[in-house]
Chains A and B, each alone.
Chain A
Amino acid sequence: MHRIVIIGGGPGGTITANHLAEGLAGEIRAGKVEVTLLTDQPEQVYKPGFLYLALGLEAPEHIHRPVRELVSPYIQVRIEHVSRVDTANRQVMVDGGESYPFDQLIVASGARLDPAATPGLKEAGDWFYDEEASKRLHAKLEKLEKGRIVVSVIGVPHMCPVAPLEITFMLDDWLRRRGRRDAVELAYTYPINRTHSIVQCAEWATPEMLQRGVHIETFFNVEAIDPEEKVLRSMEGTELPFDVLIAVPEHRSAAYLEESGLLQSGWVPTDRETLAVKGQEGIWALGDTTDLPVSKAGSVAHYQSSHLAKNVIAHYYGVGPVARYDGKTICFVEAGLDRATFIEFNYQRPPRVPEPTKMIHWAKLAYNNAYWLTAKGAL
């Protein structure tokens, strides 16, 4: 029996599982291969939905699906919290003492938020990168009649790199529709000397922000937040008062990876084309947990999964990697409440940012629902 274990029930884990179920169906039926998906969350959450949740534009029940409904019946789904990967003995240890031996392992455990890494953030900040925080932020925004909202990118890299731009543009429209924009200032901070790490996105977003009257602070690396004074302080010596702070907290890999010695500079060192974990045999990684110079975005995990599954299947048959991921990334980018744009790029080709349109906005809203077909491997 060849045992393949997947850690993670997000897009990377479920889509890969479904590709493996399809590619190895005969072997699984014959009892020669077993594919087990370990996840500590019985439901998958569509994280791009948090952006809409934070503005009261989406209902929480629309962004959840049980993992078991998303994956093929050929996949064994186990709700487990992984405590460590024992690479020497090739087994995954879970809380409670059980272990899952593997011949091949796929690490798809995403990224987690670490707001505690920034002094004062937990006490005074809000964010839209998890469900409860998005709901809290929405309640706060509804009450804010006047003052200043600061959108501050603290940690880079972070999930969904365009989301801070999107919340800024959407908030501007949202406040205008409520007649509050004159009374509420908007400010945006970014750690490097432009408004986004991708040059083409920065070149599009900066004039868009200025035209909307958004105050921009670049080279702004948050050192601490004073919860009493409600002031953001940067390493560069700038202070920015706020009434509502919408932060992008520091991100980390799953804690068990550190315990397992599978991290390098905080992320899983991964071959950019084959998606093999460097220095390991038969261990693969995809999605937000890798150290690859690609966006930590669902589309990346989606495109990586088909290549990774082919290489896992090839490895089972004793063949070297047969598929190479080229860095393909696609992101819809909301440019307000009724316009959006769309970027597509890879390792070799930088993105171009087309003029935002209503059509692309509708396409994004449609995809927010159609995503569940992607998770099932059907789209």
Chain B
Amino acid sequence: MADTNVKQEIDARGSACPGPLMELIRGIKASGTGDVVAVLSSDPGSNKDIPDWVEKIGYELVANEDHGDYHRFVVRKSK
């Protein structure tokens, strides 16, 4: 499991697209610069949506862990 300094972990499993991405955005909005937020998603669309958004906004995708029936995305609000 990547990064132990996760400030907030959001369990969005079972939530359909774009639920997990919107949950992540909500978590990031409420975080400070440098904070790390993780989101768990069982929606296959998140595999593209979340990394694409992180790249667009210029944050850091610390990890994208495949846990079989869900992925855990770890994102640092780097600026």
Chain A residues within 8 Å of B, Cβ to Cβ: 156-157, 191-193, 197, 199, 219, 221, 223, 235-237, 265, 293
Say yes or no: A219 contacts B22, CB within 8 Å.
no
Say yes or no: A235 contacts B57, CB within 8 Å.
yes
Partner of A193, one of B16, B19, B49, B58: B49
Point out the residues of chain A lying under 8 angstroms from B22, CB to CB. 156-157, 191-192
A197 to B15, CA, bound (A): 13
Point out the residues of chain B lying under 8 angstroms from A193, CB to CB. 49, 52-53, 56
The 5 closest A-B pairs by CB, nearest first: A293-B16, A192-B18, A219-B56, A236-B57, A197-B18
Taking A223-B29, A293-B15 as given, write out 12 further A-B residue pairs in contact, using a Cβ cutoff of 8 Å, ordered by the A residue number: A156-B22, A191-B18, A192-B18, A192-B22, A193-B49, A219-B52, A219-B56, A219-B57, A237-B57, A265-B23, A293-B14, A293-B19
A293 to B18, CA, bound (A): 10
Say yes or no: A156 contacts B18, CB within 8 Å.
yes
Point out the residues of chain A lying under 8 angstroms from B75, CB to CB. none
Partner of B49, one of A157, A192, A235, A237: A192
Say yes or no: B29 contacts A192, CB within 8 Å.
no
Interface core residue of B22, B29, B58 (most chain A CB under 10 Å) = B22
A199 to B16, CA, bound (A): 12
Q: Is the interface of B mostly helix, strand, loop or mixed?
A: helix
A192 to B15, CA, bound (A): 15
- Smallest CB–CB gap between B27 and chain A, Å? 10
Say yes or no: A219 contacts B53, CB within 8 Å.
yes
Say yes or no: A192-B19 contact (C-beta < 8 A), given A221-B25, A235-B29: no
Say yes or no: A192 contacts B53, CB within 8 Å.
yes
A265 to B19, CA, bound (A): 11
Q: Is the interface of A mostly helix, strand, loop or mixed?
A: loop
Point out the residues of chain B lying under 8 angstroms from A237, CB to CB. 57-58
Say yes or no: B57 contacts A197, CB within 8 Å.
no
Q: Say yes or no for B17: interface residue by CB 8 A criterion.
A: yes
Say yes or no: A191-B25 contact (C-beta < 8 A), given A219-B53, A236-B56: yes
14 A-B pairs, CB-CB below 8 angstroms?
A191-B18, A191-B22, A192-B49, A193-B53, A197-B17, A199-B17, A219-B52, A219-B53, A219-B57, A235-B25, A236-B57, A237-B58, A265-B23, A293-B14
- Smallest CB–CB gap between A69 and chain B, Å? 37
- Smallest CB–CB gap between A29 and chain B, Å? 42
- Smallest CB–CB gap between B76 and chain A, Å? 15
A192 to B21, CA, bound (A): 8
Point out the residues of chain B lying under 8 angstroms from A265, CB to CB. 23
Residue of B nearest to A294 (CB): B16
Point out the residues of chain B lying under 8 angstroms from A157, CB to CB. 22
- Smallest CB–CB gap between B72 and chain A, Å? 17
Point out the residues of chain A lying under 8 angstroms from B19, CB to CB. 293
Point out the residues of chain A lying under 8 angstroms from B29, CB to CB. 221, 223, 235
Point out the residues of chain A lying under 8 angstroms from B57, CB to CB. 219, 235-237
A331 to B16, CA, bound (A): 19
Residue of B nearest to A234 (CB): B57
A293 to B58, CA, bound (A): 29
- Smallest CB–CB gap between B12 and chain A, Å? 8
A235 to B15, CA, bound (A): 23
Residue of B nearest to A192 (CB): B18
A221 to B16, CA, bound (A): 19
- Smallest CB–CB gap between B70 and chain A, Å? 15
- Smallest CB–CB gap between A200 and chain B, Å? 12
- Smallest CB–CB gap between B16 and chain A, Å? 4
Point out the residues of chain A lying under 8 angstroms from B52, CB to CB. 193, 219
Point out the residues of chain B lying under 8 angstroms from A156, CB to CB. 18, 22
A192 to B25, CA, bound (A): 10
A261 to B22, CA, bound (A): 23
Point out the residues of chain A lying under 8 angstroms from B56, CB to CB. 193, 219, 236
Point out the residues of chain B lying under 8 angstroms from A235, CB to CB. 25, 28-29, 57
Residue of B nearest to A250 (CB): B26
